[in-house]
Structure 1
Amino acid sequence: MLAAGASRRMGRSKTLLETGQGTLLDQAIRQARLMSSRVTVATGAGYPLMRFRGRVQPACWLPVADWREGMAASLRAGIASLGADARGVFVVLADQPLLEPAALMAMGKAARFMPDQPVAADYGGWPGVPAWLPRWLWPDILALEGDRGAASVLLAAGATRVEIPGVADDVDTPVDWAAVRLRLSRTGPTTRQCRR
């Protein structure tokens, strides 16, 4: 999970925003566990406070020394932390709390069924995160620099794009957070139970 950014547009650490079910990071760790039981959080700004304020702990906290470089540094650190037996890695962000759980579980199943095929969320024809990066794709990911994610690598590799409701609802600004928080209040676990 990429959670190392400074949240400049938010003006404060977005990983610590309270969702009603814990912090935004707590929610993201729960989402990541739908795809893999081993969740590693790449950290930078906001660490170690996010570790101590969170109610849900990952399998591993991974401080990224050069986190100020951007997403590429977190991707490199995450891949470098994996063992020789890893067939690939799921990449998720800490700021997409409205991702559809069933779609995340389906992505996890797809990656296990065809582990050599990259899989990515569809952003109107462009691949993005959440994503599955098979091991053969890692050299291209490790070559990325700056605040660039893996979208261009996934596109060039012909990643299978899947619809994951909620990918466009990320939290970057206070306005984003107000809209997402309102939707969370309407779609939380308690609300879902009452709709039966």
Structure 2
Amino acid sequence: MRQVAGLLLAAGQGARLGTPKALVEYRGERLVDRGVRLLHEGGCHPVIVVLGAATLQVRGAVAVVNPDWRTGMGSSLRVGLAALPPEAEAVVVALVDQPFVEPAAVRALIDSGAPVAVATYGGRPRNPVLIARGHVERVAAMANGDVGARPFLTAYPELVTEVEVPGDPRDIDTPEDLTTLTGED
């Protein structure tokens, strides 16, 4: 069994939401804590969380701060990938604003044995993604602005294994999304 780290991108300010998404609570749990739990329960160790707009304590994870978080997800992905421990053979990258992704999705990516794997829901590729150590440098080099691994995945489709997973990939970007997804006002 290969050692797979988890990487939770949680640095954004949530401009459209009005608050950093990491701080949003759903059923009494902050989204950042939910994301850490997702990765742990899916089989990742250690879990690294990239913070930026909000600086907070995160239990069960190594927190790193992206000083350039305002430039977008690309810089957060680079900071997180740079923090991977040397023993990590791969990393599963997840986003803090997808609270309905299930640990089984993470486990399916790991169990695929693929060097690059993308979770799909009903045949549509979404997050999380798994990247083997040998591709981390190229992924980091191509991550810019408000995109993460997408440029790498698009440039090297022959490397990508799509893995159909259970769960719901919807994300929370606006107060309306939060109300719709949670049923709470």
TM-score grouping bracket, smaller chain normalisation = 0.7 to 0.9
1:9-20 equivalent positions in 2, closer than 5 A: 9-20=16-27
- The 1:104–1:83 alpha-carbon spacing in structure 2 relative to 1, beyond 3 Å, is closer
The answer to whether the Cα contact below 8 Å between 1:29 and 1:58 also exists between their aligned partners in 2 is: yes
Q: Which residue does 1:150 correspond to in 2?
A: 149
Q: Which residue does 1:61 correspond to in 2?
A: 63
State how far apart, in whole Å, the 2-side matches of 1:70 and 1:174 are: 20
**How big is each residue's C-alpha offset from its partner over 1:8-54, in whole Å with a ceiling of 9 and x where there is no partner?**
01011222222124111111111111230311100000113xx2xx6
Name whichever of 76-85 and 64-73 sits farther off.
76-85
Q: Which has the higher strand share?
A: 2
State how far apart, in whole Å, the 2-side matches of 1:147 and 1:77 are: 14
Q: Which residue does 1:88 correspond to in 2?
A: 90
1:178-189 equivalent positions in 2, closer than 5 A: 178-182=179-183
The answer to whether the Cα contact below 8 Å between 1:42 and 1:62 also exists between their aligned partners in 2 is: yes
* Structure with bigger gyration radius: 1
Q: Which residue does 2:44 correspond to in 1?
A: 36
The answer to whether the Cα contact below 8 Å between 2:101 and 2:168 also exists between their aligned partners in 1 is: yes
Question: SS where residue 12 of structure 2 aligns?
Answer: coil
* Alpha-carbon distance, 1:163 to partner: 2.6
Structure 1 residue 2 corresponds to structure 2 residue 6:
no
What is the CA RMSD across the aligned residues, in angstroms? Answer: 2.0
Q: Which has the higher helix share?
A: 1
Task: Name which of 55, 63, 78 aligns with 1:47.
Answer: 55
Q: Which residue does 1:79 correspond to in 2?
A: 81
Which AA in structure 1 matches 2:111? K
Q: Between Structure 1 and Structure 2, how many residues are aligned? A: 172
- The 1:71–1:124 alpha-carbon spacing in structure 2 relative to 1, beyond 3 Å, is farther
Percent of residue pairs identical: 36
* Alpha-carbon distance, 1:124 to partner: 6.8
Which AA in structure 2 matches 1:153? F
State how far apart, in whole Å, the 1-side matches of 2:179 and 2:93 are: 25
